[in-house]
């Protein structure tokens, strides 16, 4: 199995969640072993996708370099990861990735338009060898060894529409597109009002998020899935785990996980080389993974 990039450049324009201004996003192919690299065209700054470049995880995953940042990268990266793309240049002309409809569906369509191109270097993946866990109170995120890839996420919210939800994704590209990609981000009306008072979430609307008041969903069309909330948490987790620099083989499990806990998990994983091994997918052992990304 070989590394993958896109066949041709593609782009779209959407609204930034926090500034509420139009943002142009462009994807370009990169050579083998280049990894995922973000580029701010407005300030001529490249930001490689590595855990050390994460500068904020409160409301979204934010990377930065030399004082310049790119926010809300996780939805775009979730699609990139799900498509098994190893090398890609992601160009934006502002400090955030456009939010689109609050899911990764638009980014999947953009990648379908770009097409995938095999390259000349073997694909590298990280095989999880030992349990790695980050826990804060009763919240935790965990990686454990497994011959395949699974995401098991549980959330608990004291809200009548959400309550407790659990979802298990047996990962393949197809299961991601069918079960996860369309799940939108969500927030509570009082949080949105507070953020706007601080000059944030100016682009947030019922067009790009599920918004809840104290008792109900405010979106007139309702939910795309009965458990859309926990499915979106898996979408976020897949994007956040992109920061390890390659696809991995193992199980991800979370109870009330967050961008912050996911970032700490990537740091904890990479801190000890005994936790993992990087393998090149050649010969027989590639077949199952090739099915996953078909």
Tell me the DSSP string of 229-262: HHHHHHHHHHHHHGGGSS-EEEEEEEES--HHHH
pLDDT tens figures, 35-67: 999 999 999 999 999 999 999 998 889 999 999
Give the residues of the chain that fall short of pLDDT 50.
none
Answer yes or no: 190 catalytic. no
Q: What is the Cα–Cα distance from 3 to 121, expressed in whole angstroms?
A: 6
**pTM of the model as a whole:** 0.94
Of 65, 92, 122, the domain-final residue = 122
Task: Mark whether 129 and 223 lie in a shared domain.
Answer: yes
Domain tally, the chain = 2
| pLDDT at 294 (0 to 100) | 61
Task: Mark whether 142 and 252 lie in a shared domain.
Answer: yes
Tokens describing residue 260: 């912050």
| pLDDT at 200 (0 to 100) | 67
| pLDDT at 270 (0 to 100) | 96
**How many secondary structure helices (H) and strands (E) does the chain include?**
7, 19
Phi and psi at residue 229, to the nearest 5° = -65, -50
| pLDDT at 198 (0 to 100) | 73
Taking alpha carbons only, the member of 123, 157, 128 closest to residue 144 is 128
Of 102, 122, 142, the domain-final residue = 122
**Catalytic residue from among 18, 75, 259, 263:** 259
Q: What is the Cα–Cα distance from 30 to 106, expressed in whole angstroms?
A: 21
Taking alpha carbons only, the member of 169, 170, 148, 120 closest to residue 287 is 148
Task: Mark whether 141 and 110 lie in a shared domain.
Answer: no
Question: At how many degrees (to 10) do helices 259-271 and 228-241 cross?
Answer: 40
């Amino acid at each position: 199995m070989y590394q993958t990039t896109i066949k041709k450049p593609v782009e779209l324009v959407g609204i930034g969640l926090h500034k509420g201004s139009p943002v142009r996003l462009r994807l370009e192919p990169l050579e083998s072993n280049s990894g995922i690299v973000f580029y701010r065209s407005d300030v001529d700054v490249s930001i490689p996708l590595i855990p050390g470049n994460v500068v904020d995880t409160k409301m979204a995953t934010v990377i930065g370099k030399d004082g310049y940042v790119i926010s809300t990268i996780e939805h775009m990266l979730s699609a990139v990861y799900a498509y098994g793309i190893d090398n890609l240049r992601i160009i934006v002309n502002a400090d955030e990735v456009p939010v689109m409809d609050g899911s990764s569906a638009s980014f999947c369509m953009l990648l379908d338009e770009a097409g995938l191109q095999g390259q000349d270097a073997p694909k590298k993946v990280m095989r999880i060898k030992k349990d790695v866990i980050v826990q804060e109170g009763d919240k935790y995120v965990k990686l454990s060894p497994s011959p395949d890839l699974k995401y098991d996420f549980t959330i608990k919210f004291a809200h009548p529409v959400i309550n407790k939800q659990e979802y298990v994704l047996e990962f393949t590209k197809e299961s991601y597109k069918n079960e996860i990609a369309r799940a939108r981000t969500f927030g509570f009306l009082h949080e949105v009002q507070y953020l706007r008072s601080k000059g944030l979430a100016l682009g947030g609307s019922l067009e790009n998020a599920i918004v809840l008041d104290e008792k109900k969903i405010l979106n007139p069309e309702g939910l795309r899935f009965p458990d859309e909330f926990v499915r979106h948490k898996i979408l976020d987790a897949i994007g956040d785990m992109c920061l390890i620099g390659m696809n991995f083989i193992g199980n991800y499990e979370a109870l009330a996980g967050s961008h912050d806990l996911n970032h700490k998990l990537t740091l904890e994983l990479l801190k000890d080389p005994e936790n993992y091994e990087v393998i090149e997918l050649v010969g027989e052992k590639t077949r199952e993974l090739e099915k996953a990304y078909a």
